[in-house]
Chains A and B, each alone.
Chain A
Amino acid sequence: MAEQWRSALLLCLLMAASSLASTGTTAPASTGNDTEHGTGTINTLPIVTWKWHHVEVPYLESHHEHGGGHNATGIAIVSFKWHHVESPYLVAVWILVCFFGKLLIEANHKITNYIPESALLICFGFILGGIVWGADKVQTFKLTPTVFFFYLLPPIMLDTGYSMPNKLFFTNLGAILIHAVIGTVWNAATLGLSLWGCHQGGAMGNIEIGLLQYLLYGSLMAAVDPVAVIAVFEQVHVNEVLFILVFGESLLNDGVTVVLFNVFDAFVSLGGGAIDAKEIIKGIVSFFVVAFGGSLLGFVFGLLMSLLSRCTKNVQIIEPGFIFVLGYLSYLTAEMLSLSSILSVVFCGICCQKYMNSNMNENSIQTVRYAMKVFANGSETMIFVFLGISAIDKAIWVWNTGFILLTLLFILIYRFIGVFILTWMLNRYRLVPISFVDQIIMGYGGLRGAVAYGLAVNLNESKIKEKNLMVCTTLLVVYFTVILQGVTMKPLVQWLKVKRAEIAEITLIEKVQNKVFDHMLIAIEDISGQIGDNYMRNKWRNFEEKWMSRLLLKPSARKQQDHLYNVFHQLNLQDAMEYVKEGERRGSLEFIRNESAFVDFKKKLGEDYEEAMPDIMADMPSNDPVSTCRRDVLPTVSLEMHEQNMRGLREAEGINAHHLLDQHLYKGRKQHRYRYSRSHLDINQDENEVQEIFQRTMRSRLESFKSGKMGVAPPKTITKHTKREPQTKMPNGKNKPYHSGDEDFEFSEGDSASGYDTSFPTRVTYRAGAGIENPAFMPDLDPSSPLHIPPWLADAGMEVNPVAPSERAQVRTPGYLHRLSSLRTNARSGETAQDRDLPTPPPHRDDDHL
């Protein structure tokens, strides 16, 4: 199956590629630089037309018959206007081809395990380029700087900014800056000077490059490329500090590169004689202006964006669009003012992420998140493919063994030397020193990429005679670093046993402790009378809370800011999910056993869910306004459907917990519909009650846990269920039309993960607000009237706990449901219900076993 799929893909791809290639073939029929912006391909493509007709004739035959083609004198019903659509068409086709390439590559996991995707994409580019070349004999497509800098780069940078781990980034900012600024200058200077030295020594043979030009070349080669670094490091999963160091450096050194490049470019034009101290000082000043100006501009745009997102509620559909447009504008504005555009867009993303994520509603956030990835990943794919394609061009290949090999050597060596020196200095001041192994990876991670290539192509040929040599060497360096270093990176990381990133679920207590740490450190600094990192961080946080949040966040969003709370909420959700699963299972069994207990069952099921609810709605008690508004929207706590829930969610803007949750939960398929209606239940109006419910759950969980420790019960085997069972039970629970065949109801575990995993979490997630209205929540209350007696009235004494110890013991599987006492309670009640065939709600379960 997989094989077929793969070969089919390959076929498609080849077809696409060859048709494209053949389009390229022929005579230069037309002219014109296309105005359309798009991929780098366009300006080369005028040619295509004629061939296109050839290729496509079979498909278009009928059109021609009827429409008479271009020459028809009468009204053409269908006409073939290739020129009309040419450039956008080609752009689209190229994008498609690149995507196919990615698809093809990703279909082969075995290969991508060893070779990073970026390297494969470049190789794919080679092949495409080869095809084009074979058909054309001319290099017709390549990555032009305009396309790269204006269309491909910005989305990637915006995405990196937007998804930047802020805290990590700013805690390591010092080290990052040192590496980015000093390291880059070091790289540029040493490379330029060494090459020049070798030149003087005669290692290069006969080429016309002066010192300044070497320095210019050094400056364009100096910068570690963000795109390449992300692409390689994302697949390696090194520890986060190491990652942020390399990655942050690659982002921030853009400012330096741009300045160095411009300065030396200007120097080259001026000629050696005209450079005096004044010019050099101007160059240094311009560095600060460019770098800080760019960052500041991005910051301003980020703030604007956040402000804007406060009031975009009414244009929800285009709400996500703002971030893209404004982000792009920040890039262009910086470019216009000749500031560092990369820094600008990155900081724009960094600055707005928090506020945007809180202000926008859940759907928009998802949209932004995905769209951002689509653009960024797409751009990245195309950049690499086109880097590969660009290689297939006779014109640029000027071989000079000395120059090329020395460049490669120096780049590698000086990078390592630079990293070692700088980290040695930094380590004297760092609390946690960067280990030697990490330094090696940092040095080895100095990948060069498309930015260098873009700059190299930008060189002015009239001033620099050996431009082609430089371009070609740059390309080689890019291939060398991305492909060779990229491929060897993973084995190296494994071999050196570099600390990997830990993907650990953060526990609640840990979260609490982290906060305790923070405050403790601040306190200690206060007591010892120092102004340290923690002090500054604290100041910033206070400032941020006081002013920024007030200004930039919607009031509703502001309330939901607490992370501790979010984790708590998450935990509860997990419990609830497990619990509901369990409930489903039991429920279905039970139904099968007593068909007659129709009504009961419904009730019981309701309870089951309700118990899960309070957990879910843990976020509610704290924020009354939101919950109220939600309640309005969701008239009943419906366990049903998404349409409703979605609507509800939309209103419930600023439920911050959702962002967090959604990142951690499986996504449900939207078409899933759940047929529970709980509309027949009373609606719980009182917010205090909500709070109370919540309290009680916690309490009962705790108690159940305690008793679980002591209780000894015979193991109960939980029967596995077939798919059908869950299905059958639902309708009963519901009174709604019976959907036996409805695939939406595949809850059973045996079912594929997609059916199960996806559906459950979703339900739970979206039901967040629902718990409020859950009257039947506490089953342990008076059994006869669970719907009417508020839980807290029923058992005022805190310690009176409804627990079924025995049950708990059974469910002892590690990590399984311990947090959720209610589950056990219900399990028990479920059994009793079966036994007695009762129309009454579950009996007290506590007494007998305690």
Chain B
Amino acid sequence: MLMINVFVSSVSTEQIKNLHMRFQQLCGNEKTLRKEHLENIPTLADNPIKTEIIKAFFDKRNQHNNELGSYEEIGFEEFLMVMSHFRPPSIKTSAEEKAAMRKRKVRFLFNMHDTDGDGKITLEEYRKVGIVEGLLSESESIGQEVARAIADAAMLEVASTNVPNMVREVTKITLALFLHFACPQILKDLEMESRMYVRFLDMNTANLRCGK
């Protein structure tokens, strides 16, 4: 609970209440949330990276307990923890806090790719995760093979660009590299950083869209 307080501190109680309502709505009458619950959200159905997102919710790494593996079901605390990755910074947030938040976000993204949890994204992982394929298959015209090739190219690009002071391993991306390449806007604190935030509205929006 302490951990949560640290991370969630800037999520207002109002927002937590809303999220809690939503949580209950999602898991029906049960106490915990399981994968099916999330999979049943109708609006999520078309999302190309749905599986990865759902996985991320059950990933222990995203709970910041230095544990690997994944949960079968999560309670509200865990749910909130994952959600807190996406809260926007407020005006009061200090620069360091912001940096820390950004780092957590990138970490979150990184974990999505790093399926085996060894701190490196290998080419195999990158391909397998299916994010690229998922994204590309949106536009029907591109085949799976091409998507794979794009994944390859992206990896290569990272691997082949010289970054000062960074040791690289072939076809493996470490967090630092990932940060450097995949999310430069986050790294550089550009306006674009707004991308990684979701505005949790204060008003109760759970009713606006009927849940599952």
B165 an interface residue at 8 Å Cβ cutoff?
Answer: no
- Residues on the B chain within 8 Å of A562, using CB: 136, 138-139, 141-142
Q: Which residue of A lies closest to B79 (CB)?
A: A527
In whole angstroms, what is the CA distance A686 to B44 when docked? Answer: 39
Q: Quick one: given A241-B191, A510-B183, are A814 and B198 in contact (CB under 8 Å)?
A: no
In whole angstroms, what is the CA distance A542 to B123 when docked? Answer: 31
Most chain B CB within a 10 A radius of its CB, from A516, A542, A564:
A516
Most chain B CB within a 10 A radius of its CB, from A522, A531, A571:
A522
A795 an interface residue at 8 Å Cβ cutoff?
Answer: no
Q: Report the minimal beta-carbon distance from B26 to chain A, rounded to whole angstroms.
A: 7
Residue among A502, A533, A818 making CB contact with B160, cutoff 8 Å: A818
Q: Are A508 and B150 in touch, CB under 8 angstroms?
A: yes
Q: Are A564 and B149 in touch, CB under 8 angstroms?
A: no
Q: Are A565 and B136 in touch, CB under 8 angstroms?
A: yes
Residue among A561, A568, A691 making CB contact with B150, cutoff 8 Å: A568
In whole angstroms, what is the CA distance A581 to B118 when docked? Answer: 40
Q: Quick one: given A432-B191, A527-B41, are A565 and B152 in contact (CB under 8 Å)?
A: no
A311 an interface residue at 8 Å Cβ cutoff?
Answer: no
B208 an interface residue at 8 Å Cβ cutoff?
Answer: yes
Q: Mark A510-549, 1 if CB is under 8 A from B, else 0.
A: 1011111111111111111111111100000010000000
Q: Mark B67-103, 1 if CB is under 8 A from A, else 0.
A: 0000000000000000100101001000000000000
Q: Report the minimal beta-carbon distance from A172 to chain B, rounded to whole angstroms.
A: 10
Q: Which residue of B lies closest to A707 (CB)?
A: B170
B188 an interface residue at 8 Å Cβ cutoff?
Answer: yes
Q: Which residue of B lies closest to A508 (CB)?
A: B154
Q: Quick one: given A523-B47, A529-B205, A622-B141, are A432 and B193 in contact (CB under 8 Å)?
A: yes
Q: Are A509 and B136 in touch, CB under 8 angstroms?
A: no
Residue among B50, B156, B198, B211 making CB contact with A819, cutoff 8 Å: B156
Q: Are B154 and A509 in touch, CB under 8 angstroms?
A: yes
Most chain B CB within a 10 A radius of its CB, from A504, A508, A533:
A508
Range of interface residues on B (Cβ < 8 Å): 35 or more
A367 an interface residue at 8 Å Cβ cutoff?
Answer: no
Q: Quick one: given A508-B153, A513-B183, A521-B86, are A432 and B146 in contact (CB under 8 Å)?
A: no
Q: Which residue of B lies closest to A514 (CB)?
A: B195
In whole angstroms, what is the CA distance A618 to B48 when docked? Answer: 23
A427 an interface residue at 8 Å Cβ cutoff?
Answer: yes
**Secondary structure call for the A interface:** helix
B190 an interface residue at 8 Å Cβ cutoff?
Answer: yes
Q: Which residue of B lies closest to A624 (CB)?
A: B141
Q: Are A512 and B209 in touch, CB under 8 angstroms?
A: no
A271 an interface residue at 8 Å Cβ cutoff?
Answer: no
B25 an interface residue at 8 Å Cβ cutoff?
Answer: yes
In whole angstroms, what is the CA distance A682 to B109 when docked? Answer: 47
A559 an interface residue at 8 Å Cβ cutoff?
Answer: yes
Q: Mark A809-843, 1 if CB is under 8 A from B, else 0.
A: 00000110011000000000000000000000000
- Residues on the A chain within 8 Å of B196, using CB: 517, 521
Q: Quick one: given A523-B47, A523-B49, are A427 and B160 in contact (CB under 8 Å)?
A: no
Q: Report the minimal beta-carbon distance from A723 to chain B, rounded to whole angstroms.
A: 31
Q: Quick one: given A431-B88, A509-B155, A622-B141, are A527 and B26 in contact (CB under 8 Å)?
A: yes
Q: Are B170 and A705 in touch, CB under 8 angstroms?
A: yes
In whole angstroms, what is the CA distance A276 to B79 when docked? Answer: 59
A388 an interface residue at 8 Å Cβ cutoff?
Answer: no
Q: Quick one: given A571-B153, A698-B149, A698-B153, are A240 and B182 in contact (CB under 8 Å)?
A: no
Q: Are B145 and A695 in touch, CB under 8 angstroms?
A: yes
B201 an interface residue at 8 Å Cβ cutoff?
Answer: yes
Q: Quick one: given A694-B146, A815-B162, are A702 and B135 in contact (CB under 8 Å)?
A: no
A460 an interface residue at 8 Å Cβ cutoff?
Answer: no
Q: Are B160 and A565 in touch, CB under 8 angstroms?
A: no
Q: Which residue of A lies closest to B22 (CB)?
A: A529
Residue among A528, A571, A695 making CB contact with B19, cutoff 8 Å: A528
In whole angstroms, what is the CA distance A694 to B153 when docked? Answer: 11
Q: Are B131 and A512 in touch, CB under 8 angstroms?
A: yes
Q: Which residue of A lies closest to B184 (CB)?
A: A510
Could you write out 28 A-B pairs with CB less than 8 Å apart?
Answer: A428-B91, A431-B194, A432-B191, A509-B154, A513-B109, A513-B182, A516-B131, A519-B135, A521-B195, A522-B47, A523-B53, A525-B198, A527-B38, A528-B200, A529-B25, A530-B201, A560-B141, A561-B139, A564-B136, A565-B139, A621-B145, A622-B141, A622-B143, A695-B149, A701-B152, A702-B152, A705-B160, A818-B156
